[in-house]
Amino acid sequence: MKWKLALLGALLPIVAAAQPNFAGKTVTIVVGYKPGGGYDATARMLARHLPDRLPGKPTVIVQNMPGGNSIIAANHMYNVAKPDGLTLGTFNRNLPIAQLTKVQGVKYDMLKFAWIGSAANEATILAIRNDLPYKNFEELRKAKEPVVIGSTGPGANTHDFPLLLKDLLSLNLKIVSGYSSSADIMLAVERKEVDGRAGSYNSLKPFIDRKLVRPIIRARSNEAGIEQLPIDESFAKTPRAKAIMALRSAPEVIARPYVLPPNTPADIVKAYRDAFAATIKDPALVAEAQKAQFDLDYTSGDEAVKVLKEVLSQPKDIVDEFSKYVKFGE
Amino acid sequence: MAKQTSLGLALAIMALAAWGIYSALDWPLKSKLFPLVIAIPLFCLAAAEALWVFFAKDAAASASDFKLSQDQSPEVARRRTALAAGWIVGFFVLVLLLGFPIAVAAFVFVYLKLQGKEGWLFSAVFTAAVWFFFYGLFDLVLHMHFPDGWLFGGFGGF
Amino acid sequence: MLDAFVQGLVLVLQWKAFAFMLAGIFVGFWVGLLPGLGGATTLALMLPFIYNMQPVEAFAFLLGMHSVVATTGDITSILFGVPGEATTAAIILDGHAMAKKGEAGRALGAALASSLVGALIGAAALAAAIPVVRPLVLTFGSPELFMLAIVGLAFIASLSAQGARGMVRGFLAGGLGLFLAMIGQDPQAGMARYTLDTLYLWQGLDLVPVLVGLFAIPEIIDLVVRGTSIAGDAPAGRINRGALEGVKDVFRHFWLTIRCALIGTFIGITPGLGGAVAQWMAYGHATQSARTPEERKGFGQGDVRGVIGPGAACNSKEGGALIPTIAFGVPGSTSMAILLGGFFLLGLVPGPDMLTKHLDVTFSLVWTIVLANIITVAACFLLLNRLTALTAIQGHLLVPVVLVLVFIGSYTSNSSYADLIVTMVFGAVGYFMVVAGWPRAPLVLGLVLGKIAENYLYISVARYDAAWLGRPVVIVLLVIAVGVVLYPIVQALRARRSHG
C-alpha cells in the first residue's frame, strides 16, 4: 500500500508544477495603440475578464505602447519582454505583412511568437451612399462617373481595399486620402464630399442601419449580415490579382492578435489559450461587446499560425507585385 | 547674448531647411509638395534673420514671450544655467540606468542635498514623501509600468 | 424641447448621478493638476468603471471628470509654468509671468473666472445649437477646414513682435513648427518623411513632450538661476489677495472674454482641428486687444488679458466639442473618442436620435458641464490661498518635484524614453528661443496645424479640383485670415503715425 502513496506523493508535485499559478502577480497587456481605439478597447475588456479564468486570478492591466504603427510594441514583445507569462501583446493585424514586405525597423518574426489567438475577425466591406444610383456591384462596375471614396491613408483598410478594387478590378473609383479618422470620413459622406468608404463591417454597421450607406462588396472574411455580398477575389482577372487580394485579406481572421513572447513555456501558453478561449466564447461577454459596438470572434493560436505560415511563404514575385499597391501604414 | 543666440538659431534653421529640401527631392510629388513649400521660405526667412543680425545696428523688438530674469549677474546666471542643464540631463541618465522609481528617489535626494543644501533628515523625509506620492499614484492607483533600469538588466523603454 | 431642458437638469440632480459627478470632479481635479496625467489616458482608465452604471450616472462621472481638467490644468500652468494639460500651455505665457511678479492670486482668480464664463458659454452654445447643429457642421467641409487652419496660422502674425523683423522671427518660428509637423508617414503616398530612420518618428512628433519641453524646461532653468521662490521677493500677503482683482478683471474685459469663449466653442465644434489650437488663437486675439505698442509689449510679461483669453477658450471648447460627438458620432479629440466609446457601451447611438429621442440625456450632459464647472471653480477659490502659497516655497524644493512630474508626464504618453529625449531637445530649443527673443507660440501653432492644413488641402484639391476656392465660406475665411495678418501691421502703422 505504501508504494501507492509514495507514487502519489511523487506525482503530485509534477502535476502541480504543470499548472502555472499567477496568484498575486500582475499581468500586463501591451497594446500597440493609444487609448480610445479598437485594439485598446478589446484589450481593456480582456483585462477585466481574463483574471477569472487564469489560475491564481492575477491582476491584469493595460500598457499603451504606440509608435511605428505598433511595430515598436511587437519589437518589445519579441526582444524585451520576458517569457514568464506576465506580459501579453496585441498589435496591428497587418504586422505579418510588414514582415513580409521587409518594412524597415521590423525586429520580430511573427512565427516565433507564442500565439494565444485572435479576439475578433474583421470583415472588410466597401459601402457607398444610399442615394447613389448604384445598388449593387454590377451597377457600380458600369459607373461612368468616378465614385469618390474617402480614406485615411495607405496601410489602413479604408485605403488598401478600394485601391485594389480600383487597380485590379478596374472599378471607377477616385480615392481621396488624408482624413484623420474613419468617423471623419463618415461625416464627409453625410456632407456629400465623398461617396463612400471601405472599412470593417462592424464600424459601418450603424451607418448601414441608419440607411446612410449600403454595402456593395466584401473581402474574404464573412460575418452575419453580409453573407450575400459578392467577394472581391471572385472577380479577379488573373491568378496573381487573386493572390494579391487574398494576401491583403489574410490578416482579417487574426484581426485582434494576442501573443506571448517567444520561448514561453508550453504550460503557460496553454493556460492562456484556455483562458482566452473561455473568455471570448462567453455569451455574456459577446453580448456586452456587441453593445459596445465591437465584435468578438475566437480564432485559436494554431489557426493563427497556419494563416501566418501561408502569408509569410508567399513567393517573391507576388510580394513584389503586392508591394507596388499596398504600403504598410496605420 | 541675444544676438549671438539669434544668429545661432537662424543658422541652425537654415541647415535644417536645407537638409529638408535635399531629402525631399527624391520623394513622389504629393509627398514632397508641402515640405518644399515650407522649407524653401523657411530657409529664406532664416537667411534674412541671419543677415539682420550681422547688419542691423539696433536690437530687434523682443517677442511677447517671457524673458529670463535679469536679477543675477551674467556669470552667476551662466553658471547656474549650466548647472540646471546638468541636473536635467543627469536625471535622464539616472532614469535610464536605474529605472523611474529608483531614479526619482535618488534624484530628489541628491538635488536637495547638493543644490538645496538641506539637512540629511529633511532631505530624507521630503524624498520619502515625494516617492510615496509617486509610487502611490502611478503604481498603486494607475498600475503604470516603468521598465527596469539598464543596470538591472532591463533594456527596454525605447 | 423645454421639458427636455428641465428634465436634463432633474436627471443630473438625482443623488446618484450627482454623487458620481462629484467623484468625477475629484478625479478630474487631480488629472488636470498633475502634468503626469493626461485627460485622455485617465478617461480610458475610467471606462471599465462605468460598465454597470446607468447612462446618466456614467456621463455625470465621465463628463464631470473631463470638464474640470482644463480648469485645474490652468492652475499648474500659472503656478509652475508647466503645462498641466496640452490644452493649457498658452496660459503659461502671461499667467506664470504674473505668478513670478507675485500676482499668482490675481492670475488664478482671472483664470478661474474666465474658465467658468467660457464653460457656461460653451454649454449654452451646445444647448442652443441643438436644432441647427447638423446643417452647421455639414457646412464645414474639407475646403473650409483648410481655410480655418490658414486662419489659425494667420494668428502667427499677432503672436509675433511688432515690426518687420518681429514678423520675420514669428514666421520663422511658425515655419519651423510647420516643418516639424511634416515628420512622419504621409497619408498620400505612405512615404516616411524626415523620420531619421527611427520607428519612433513614424507617427510624427507627439505634442505633449514638445510642449512640456518648450515651456516647462526654460522655466525650471530660470527658477534655478533665480535661486528664489517662484514669486520672487513679492510679499506673501500680496500674492493671494489678488484673486478678487482677477475676477474683476474678467468683467472689466467682458467682451474679450466672450469673444475668446466663442472662438473656443467654434474650434470645438469643427471636428478635425483639434483642441490645442483654441487656446493659441484666443491668446493671439487677446494680444490684438492691446491698443498701443507699449501695451502690446506687456503681453508675455504678465498682462491679465493673456490669462483671460486662453482660460475662457479652453473650457468653452469642451461644450463645443460635444456637438459633433453627440450629433454625428465624430469625436473632436481623443477624449471625445473615449467618451464616444462610453456612449456605445451604454447603448446610446450618437446621431439624430440623441437630438430627438434622447434629448433629455443630451441636456443632462449640458447641465453636467455647467454644474461641474461651477463646483470646481468654487472649490478652487476656497483652496486659492493654499495654492498660491506654493509660489512662496523655496525654488530648490519645487525644482525636483516639478522635474519629476515633467519627465513622467512626457514618458507616459507613449511609454517611451524617446519622449524624454524630445522633451530635452525642445527644452534646449525653447531656452534658446527665449534668450534670442523669438516667440514660441507660433512654433506650437505651426506644429499643431501643419498636418491638418496639408491633409485638407489635398482632399479639397482631389475632390473639387480648383472649384473649392469659390465656395462662400472659404472666401469669408480667407478674408478673415488676411484681416488677422494685417491687423497687427495696421495697428503698428497707426501707432507710429500718431507718435511721429
Closest CA to A45 of A219, A322, A290, A234: A290
C331-347 average pLDDT score: 73
Q: Which residue in chain C has the smallest CA separation from B18?
A: C179
Q: Which residue in chain C has the smallest CA separation from B111?
A: C400
Binary contact (A329, C185; C-beta < 8 A): yes
| Superfamily (CATH) of domain A124-249 | Periplasmic binding protein-like II (3.40.190.10)
Q: Which three cell numbers stand for residue A84?
A: 514568464
Other chains touching A, judged by 3 or more CB pairs under 8 Å? B, C
Which residues in B37-67 are b (16+ Cβ under 10 Å) and which e? ebbbebbebbebbbebbeeeeeebbbbbbbe
Q: What is the C-alpha separation between C87 and C278, in angstroms, rounded? A: 8
- Exposed, middle or buried by CB within 10 Å (0-12, 13-18, 19+), for C379? middle
User: Domain spans of chain C?
Assistant: 2-499
Residue C141 sits at the chain A interface (C-beta within 8 Å): yes
For chain B, what is the mean pLDDT?
84
Binary contact (B68, C399; C-beta < 8 A): no
Q: What is the C-alpha separation between A216 and A198, in angstroms, rounded? A: 10
Q: What is the C-alpha separation between C213 and C433, in angstroms, rounded? A: 12
Residue C240 confidence class, pLDDT cut points 50, 70, 90? low
pLDDT value of residue B60:
60
Whether A17-120+255-325 and A124-249 share one fold: the answer is yes
- CB within 8 Å of A244: residues ≥ 6 apart: A164, A168, A318, A321, A322, A325, A326
Nearest to A28 among B145, B154, B155 (CB): B145
Mutate to test the interface with B, among A30, A61, A72, A84 (most CBs of B within 10 A): A61
pLDDT value of residue C352:
74
Q: Which three cell numbers stand for residue C375?
A: 463646483
Nearest to A183 among C329, C347, C452 (CB): C329
Residue C290 confidence class, pLDDT cut points 50, 70, 90? confident
DSSP B61: P
Residues of C in contact with A194 (CB under 8 A): 463
Distance from CA of A168 to the nearest CA of B (A): 22
Q: Which three cell numbers stand for residue C422?
A: 524630445
pLDDT digits (tens, 9 = 90+) for B100-146: 888 999 999 999 888 877 788 888 898 999 888 888 877 776 677 78
C12-39 average pLDDT score: 82
Q: At what angle do helices C104-129 and C359-389 cross, to 10 degrees?
A: 180
Residue C349 sits at the chain A interface (C-beta within 8 Å): yes
φ/ψ of residue C355, rounded to 5: -100, -5
pLDDT surpassing 60 at residue C115: yes
Q: Is the Cβ–Cβ distance between A201 and A123 less than 8 Å?
A: yes
pLDDT surpassing 80 at residue C76: yes
Q: What is the C-alpha separation between C154 and C281, in angstroms, rounded? A: 9
pLDDT value of residue C156:
86
Nearest to C188 among A47, A72, A178 (CB): A178
Other chains touching C, judged by 3 or more CB pairs under 8 Å? A, B
pLDDT digits (tens, 9 = 90+) for A142-166: 999 999 999 998 888 899 999 999 9
Nearest to A36 among C40, C137, C188 (CB): C40
pLDDT surpassing 60 at residue A15: no
Instruction: Tell which wins on pLDDT, B63 or C461.
Output: C461
Distance from CA of B24 to the nearest CA of A (A): 19
DSSP A233: G
Residues of B in contact with A26 (CB under 8 A): 143
C436-446 average pLDDT score: 90
DSSP C401: H
pLDDT surpassing 90 at residue C163: no
Q: Which residue in chain B has the smallest CA separation from C180?
A: B35
pLDDT value of residue A307:
92
Which stretch, A252-266, C49-63, C262-276, C366-380, has highest mean pLDDT? Answer: A252-266
Residues of B in contact with A154 (CB under 8 A): none
DSSP C186: -
What part of B 16-55 touches C (C-beta under 8 Å)? 16-17, 20, 23-24, 27-28, 30-31, 34-35, 38-39, 41-42, 45-46, 48-49, 52
Distance from CA of A73 to the nearest CA of C (A): 10
What part of C 26-65 touches A (C-beta under 8 Å)? 40-41, 43-45, 47-48, 51
pLDDT digits (tens, 9 = 90+) for A170-216: 999 999 999 988 888 988 998 899 999 999 998 888 889 888 899 99
Q: What is the C-alpha separation between C301 and A107, in angstroms, rounded? A: 50
Other chains touching B, judged by 3 or more CB pairs under 8 Å? A, C
pLDDT value of residue B65:
66
Distance from CA of A33 to the nearest CA of B (A): 15
- Exposed, middle or buried by CB within 10 Å (0-12, 13-18, 19+), for C461? middle
CATH pick for A17-120+255-325 out of 3.60.21.10, 3.40.190.150, 3.40.50.10860, 3.30.70.100:
3.40.190.150
**Chain B interface residues (partner A, CB cutoff 8 A):** 143-145, 147, 154-156
pLDDT value of residue A197:
94
Residue C139 CB-half CA count within 13 A: 11
Distance from CA of B151 to the nearest CA of C (A): 16
- Contacts by residues C231-234 (CB-CB < 8 Å, ≥ 24 positions apart): C231/C99, C231/C100, C231/C101, C231/C102, C231/C104, C231/C391, C231/C392, C232/B69, C232/C100, C232/C101, C232/C102, C233/C102, C234/C101, C234/C102, C234/C103
pLDDT digits (tens, 9 = 90+) for A38-79: 898 889 889 888 998 999 999 898 888 888 889 999 999 999
Binary contact (C341, A292; C-beta < 8 A): yes
User: Domain spans of chain A?
Assistant: 17-120+255-325, 124-249
Residue C124 confidence class, pLDDT cut points 50, 70, 90? confident
pLDDT value of residue B14:
95
Binary contact (B8, C432; C-beta < 8 A): yes
User: Domain spans of chain B?
Assistant: 2-55, 74-152
pLDDT digits (tens, 9 = 90+) for B27-69: 998 889 999 999 999 999 999 999 988 887 666 656 656 667 6
User: ipTM of the assembly?
Assistant: 0.91
Residue C231 CB-half CA count within 13 A: 22
pLDDT digits (tens, 9 = 90+) for A281-321: 888 888 878 777 778 888 999 999 999 999 999 999 999 99
pLDDT surpassing 60 at residue A18: no
pLDDT value of residue B87:
92
pLDDT value of residue C104:
87
